[in-house]
């Protein structure tokens, strides 16, 4: 069910969120890649890929959003 400001609830056309999760993962990876590219200008592609992989792991993302 989704409302999004509507007065009447409507059934979602998506049976699950896997496609949205796939898209969200790609967006997070892209934003992380851009930041690493500009912050660590002295590193080569391999090191940047290693950093990105460590950052975008689910356990690390969850940790960064948890309240202290």
pLDDT by position in tens, the chain (length 68):
455 666 777 776 767 788 888 888 899 999 999 999 999 999 999 999 999 988 888 666 666 666 65
pTM above 0.85, yes or no: no
How much is the pLDDT for 55?
A: 85
How much is the pLDDT for 1?
A: 47
How much is the pLDDT for 60?
A: 64
Rounded to the nearest 10 degrees, the angle between the axes of helix 58-65 and helix 45-55 is 60
Exposure string over 16-55, b if 16+ CB within 10 A, otherwise e: eeeeeeeeeeeeeeeebbeebeeeeeeeeeeebeebbeeb
């Amino acid at each position: 069910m989704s409302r999004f400001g509507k007065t009447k609830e409507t059934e979602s056309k998506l049976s699950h969120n896997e496609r949205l999760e796939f898209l969200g993962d790609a967006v997070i990876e892209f934003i992380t890649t851009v930041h690493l590219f500009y912050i660590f200008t002295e590193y080569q592609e391999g090191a940047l890929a290693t950093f990105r992989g460590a950052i975008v792991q689910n356990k690390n993302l969850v940790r960064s959003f948890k309240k202290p």
